[in-house]
Amino acid sequence: MATKASRSAARIMMAPAVVLLLGWMLVPLLMTLWFSFRNYLPLRGGDLGWAGFDNYVRFVSSSAFWPSIQATLVIVGSVLVITLVFGILLALLLDQPMWGQGIVRILVIAPFFVMPTVSALVWKNMFMDPVNGLFAHLWRFFGADPISWLSDASMPSIVMIVSWQWLPFATLILLTAVQSLDGEQLEAAEMDGATKLKRFYFIILPHLGRAITIVILIQTIFLLAIFAEIFVTTGGAFGTRTLSYLIFQRVLESQNIGLGSAGGVYAIILANIVAIFLMRIVGKNLDN
Amino acid sequence: MGRITLDKITKKFGDVEVIPPLDLTINDGEFVVFVGPSGCGKSTLLRLIAGLEDVSGGEIRIDGSDATMVPPAKRGLAMVFQSYALYPHMTVRKNIAFPLRMAGMDPAEQDRRITAAADVLNLTDYLDRRPGQLSGGQRQRVAIGRAIVREPAAFLFDEPLSNLDAALRVGMRLEISELHKRLKTTMIYVTHDQVEAMTMADKIVVLRAGHIEQVGSPLELYRAPRNLFVAGFIGSPKMNLIDGPAAAPYQCKTIGIRPEHIAVSAESGDWKGTVGVSEHLGSDTFFHVKCDDISEPLTVRVGGEVDVHYGDTIWLRPDAAQIHRFDDAGLRIA
Amino acid sequence: MARAVTSRRKLINTTAAWAVGLLIFFPILWTILTSFKTEAQAIAAPPLFLNFDWTLENYGVVMERSNYARFLWNSILIAGGSTILGLLVAVPAAWSMAFVPSRRTKDILLWMLSTKMLPAVGVLYPIYLLFIQLGLLDSRAGLIIVMMLINLPIIVWMLYTYFREIPVDILEAARMDGASLKSEILYVLTPMAIPGIASTMLLNFILAWNEAFWTLNLTSVNAAPLTAFIASYSSPEGLFFAKLSAASTMAIAPILILGWFSQKQLVRGLTFGAVK
């Protein structure tokens, strides 16, 4: 529904965004792909020539590879489960009539605005410090020995920090979805004799389906790339080295660009698999 | 001046041809109504004239010069949209001033024209309000005001009354007609409502599936519809179209007779039938009669109040001079 | 129809919701409180809640120790600059997609969003190398560009969903009224889309402010924003809880306040218009 003139104007106006993003995507991607086939060690002689698939093989066969995949999946999976379960409960709670709903919502949403470096540092020191942390005080109060959270329970600690950051996002989206549920549907179900639990299971949960998918997919994208939380807390030690962090170490710490780039290509493939699912679902939502 | 000529224009959306080659001349000062059922291409045709859509072929001339490739802003036409399309963030004054501002007109002249337009349209007290604070009728007037201040070559109206309630619609219809009489500017008006077409137009263009079915004055269309489609579309209630044995005596496929051209009698007539539902309007009475030998019930219009009841037997006699005859192809037989 | 709720029920809801809300908010509250304690009070056992001597000393120390103003200024410049730059690129693109859609519009949008999913770590070294070549390493300009690029898909997407709610009639009316494309966007579209544009800007500002991969890896001194300022507290050094808290409060306060004020507008953008 437009004229040739407006269509060509549209093409021109879209060009900067398209060209910029194309460049941002292709240039580094091609460079990464190139490096991944090179023996490239900037501190030990630079580019030492063609490496074939050596880097790919070495990256996968390194003892750190599978643990890093496992760490990634554990973090992503646990955070998703925690944020979804608590997010749904919180959304249902916040949807109830109460006094000061606005303020409660502000309290709940707050962690989303805290920069990851800050939340990681605050949790690491003021809560999880085995001597002076608030948890240590709490454990001692109950007569238990304080836990060295980030070394002895490193994974649960990271999961907890990240879940705290993402719970607001999940809650907010689920709350929006809960609020859009037609009250008459629930009343009809009640008239039909459905108990509270059944109403939740047969009406509320299916209604939340779309919101849950959005939460899962958007969070997955961001969680696959978490960096600051690990960088600041464990530095990848104690089994918390995710795939992203492993690549980061290969590139910046061991300065093995070829190896790191091969890892990068793996990460890109992994992200793309996730992205395809996301695009399908978001794409469907575009139509209405 | 506002003479608009469409020369073999066509419009395709993808592979679908919504307007087959079409010729039409709209004379300066004419009030032309495009009418037709929804999807007939009337709005598309208006948008082609406006320049909001490209023609796929042919030529549009405005006052003799080729405007086919001229962007809408440069055609010198003003348009009133169905949704009014007022700028919600601007006051009424700024809405009306917008086209003048775009034309870079001197502010004093802008003020003069806005004051004059507001006066004509009874908007003087509302100039500092925003569209959101106005009623439907007032918004409609603002949209018209925005169009008239430009003193365009022609006004284009795209179903402007369809968002108003019935009472307001009649009033606005009169206002637009009066505006036309006063300004004497070409107006092109799109509607699906044949009553609007009949009451307002100098010239009606009946469209179906992108084709022009007939062009003529309201009474020409009423008296001599060129084919079955126009016969059925123009006039309210609709013309009765009768096939089969009842049409046979007239040597044609189909005859048409308007409800107001049928006489009713309790004793004698050409067709005998049973009265179905009757609608008593006070001024008129419409009743639906199921006749022997005629498949569809006939609608009959009688002036004033008539004492007819459901199930009564009745005789109908069409006014022979008012019978329209149509051939096998649905075309009028003169 | 809403049903009457007993006040007892409402009281229970209120208590439960406030308890959960305060629990979630507690780490932030605790950080803010601790920032006003002395270092000794900060680690006191049992912990002190409100019964301590309030002091602003930590803020003074933090300001003295590192040039907070410069980090803050960098954060503002990078987040603000990338937002404005992004908007300049995204508004025309979103206009095209929303008002002159073609069969490829949807694909382009999805492709744009998919670039957001490119793992940063996968392209860190190439970007690092390019930045050195172009002299952009540790420069605000460089970070503004990177922040703009990583958030551009989100800006385009959000603007697109907002623009689509504006009736195309109004833009066509402007065209009929003699407006050029520039006037149409400047005087008609933009003012009508102000709420949407504002929340897009807010979300983008927040995302850029909190971004902690590129800001940590591409800056050292000159262009380092607040994420780097905070990261400098990552290795413990004696008693530092109170100072850490003060620094943290200073880093998050601007965005926390901004976020709270705009939370309603943010929700819709965050869901990409998929949840109404």
Convert the pLDDT of each residue in A62-79 to its tens digit.
888 888 888 888 998 999
DSSP for C35-50 reads TTS-HHHHT-SSPPSS
Query: Which residues are B280's β-sheet partners?
Result: B285
Q: How far is CA C191 from the centre of its chain?
A: 23
Residue position matching structure tokens 């006066």: B119
Mention every residue, 6+ apart, whose C-beta is less than 8 A from residue B123: B92, B96, B117, B138, B141, B142, B145
Nearest CA in chain A to C253: A114
Residue A272's pLDDT is what? 80
What is the structure's pLDDT at B145? 92
pLDDT at A9 over 50: yes
pLDDT, averaged across chain B: 90
**Domain spans of chain B?**
4-231, 238-333
Q: Does A61 touch chain B (CB under 8 A)?
A: no
Contacts of B51 in chain A (CB under 8 A): 3
What lies within 8 Å, CB to CB, of A229 at 6+ separation is A116, A119, A120, A158, A161, A162, A165
Average pLDDT over residues B222-251: 89
Measure CA of the first residue to CA of the last residue in chain B; give whole Å.
37
Distance from CA of C1 to the nearest CA of A (A): 7
- The sheet carrying B262-265 orders its strands as B262-265, B313-318, B271-280, B284-291, B298-303
Q: Min CA distance, C29 vs chain A (Å)?
A: 10
Residue A274 has pLDDT above 90, yes or no: no
Alpha carbon separation from C183 to A7, B98, B207, C189 (Å, rounded): 17, 11, 36, 9
Q: Which of B162-176, C37-51, C125-139, C216-230 is least confident?
A: C37-51
- Give the Cα separation of B299 and B259 in Å (integer): 5
**3-state SS, residue B204:** strand
> Chain B contact for A269, CB < 8 A?
no
The confidence score (pLDDT) of residue C139 equals: 84
Mean pLDDT of C217-231: 83
A18-54 residues labelled b (16+ CB within 10 A) or e (exposed): bebbeebbeebbebbbebbbbbbbeeeeeeeeebeeb
Identify the CA nearest to C131 among candidates C113, C149, C154.
C149
Name the amino acid, one letter, at B193.
D
The domain ranges of chain A are 65-240
Residue C205 has pLDDT above 80, yes or no: yes
The answer, for B99 touching chain C at a CB cutoff of 8 Å, is yes
Own/partner pairs, A86-91, CB within 8 angstroms, 24+ separation: A86/A163, A86/A167, A86/A170, A86/A171, A87/A167, A87/A170, A87/A171, A87/A173, A87/A174, A87/A215, A88/A174, A88/A208, A88/A212, A90/A167, A90/A171, A90/A174, A90/A175, A90/C20, A91/A171, A91/A174, A91/A175, A91/A177, A91/A178
For residue C174, which amino acid is it?
A
B304: left (phi over 0), alpha (psi -120 to 50) or beta: left
The model's confidence at residue B228, banded by pLDDT at 50, 70 and 90, is: very high
Q: Report pLDDT for A1.
A: 47
Determine whether the interchain pair C174/B98 forms a contact, defined as Cβ–Cβ distance below 8 Å. yes
Among B79, B83, B89, the residue with its CB nearest the CB of C176 is: B79
Residues of chain C positioned with their CB less than 8 A from the CB of B77: 176
Helices (H), chain C: 7-34, 39-42, 57-65, 68-99, 105-115, 124-134, 140-163, 168-176, 181-183, 190-192, 194-210, 214-218, 226-231, 241-270
Q: Quick one: pLDDT band at residue C269, thresholds 50, 70, 90?
A: low
Q: Which residue of B has its CA nearest to C182?
A: B102
The mean pLDDT of C48-56, rounded to a whole number, is 77
Q: For residues C160 and C94, is the Cβ–Cβ distance under 8 A? A: yes
Q: For domain B238-333, which architecture applies? A: Beta Barrel (2.40)
ipTM: 0.82
How far out from the chain centre does Cα C50 lie? 31
pLDDT band for C4, please (50, 70, 90 cuts).
low
Size of interface A-B (CB pairs under 8 A): 11
- At residue B306's C-alpha, the angle toward residues B303 and B308, to 5°, is 135
Q: What is the pLDDT of residue C1?
A: 41
Domain C66-232: state its class: mainly alpha
Please state which architecture CATH assigns to domain B4-231. Answer: 3-Layer(aba) Sandwich (3.40)
CA distance A89 to chain C (A): 11
Domain boundaries, chain C: 7-59, 66-232
C130 in Cβ contact with A28 (< 8 Å): yes
Per the CB < 8 A criterion, the answer to whether B291 and B243 are in contact is no
CA atoms of A236 and A158, how far apart (whole Å):
11
CATH topology of domain A65-240: MetI-like fold (1.10.3720)
C273 falls in which pLDDT band (50, 70, 90)? low
Place of tokens 């380092």: C224
Q: Please give the DSSP secondary-structure letter assigned to residue B156.
A: E
The secondary structure of residue A62, as a DSSP letter, is S
pLDDT above 60: residue B128: yes
What tokens were used for A253?
């710490």
AA identity, residue C224? A
